[in-house]
Amino acid sequence: MCRTTKFAAQFHAMKALHGVYYIVVVEDLATQKIIATGTLEIEHKFIHSAALRGRLEEVVIDKEDAEYRYTDNNLGEVMLEVLTTLGKVLGCYKISLESEDHLLAFYNKFGYQHVEGQKYMVLRYRD
């Protein structure tokens, strides 16, 4: 993660692009530290009757604190559930994400399917 001032500047720049970036931020209020972030990026497409496509980007849990303090709270699962549900509610016809091989089973729990020969996974709500 980046420094707080750079994070805030980037957050506000992305927030100004209405309907493109949906950013979820989790802050530990006791330490005033950002412990998790994730972004749902929306692409406005011409295909599928001018549909929306979602991409999950930069889903990050702060490993320094998360290993001991937040893993019991399933913060990664909560972040993925929130971002995935948001994409569905916004009407995305599909959501994709890039994944390392060791995380494929984790993303499968949320309905994402590995695309053979690719480093990304897809969750389709409709074709």
pLDDT of residue 57: 92
The mean pLDDT of 76-105, rounded to a whole number, is: 92
Q: Tens of pLDDT along 11-50?
A: 889 889 889 999 998 888 888 888 889 999 999 999 988 9
Contact at 8 Å (CB) between 98 and 122?
no
Percent pLDDT > 70 in the chain is: 90
User: Mean pLDDT for the chain?
Assistant: 86
- How many Å apart are CA 10 and CA 13, to the nearest integer? 5
The dihedral region occupied by 60, where left means phi > 0, alpha psi between -120 and 50, and beta the remainder, is beta
Domains, the chain, ordered by start: 4-124 (3.40.630.30)
pTM for this predicted structure: 0.79
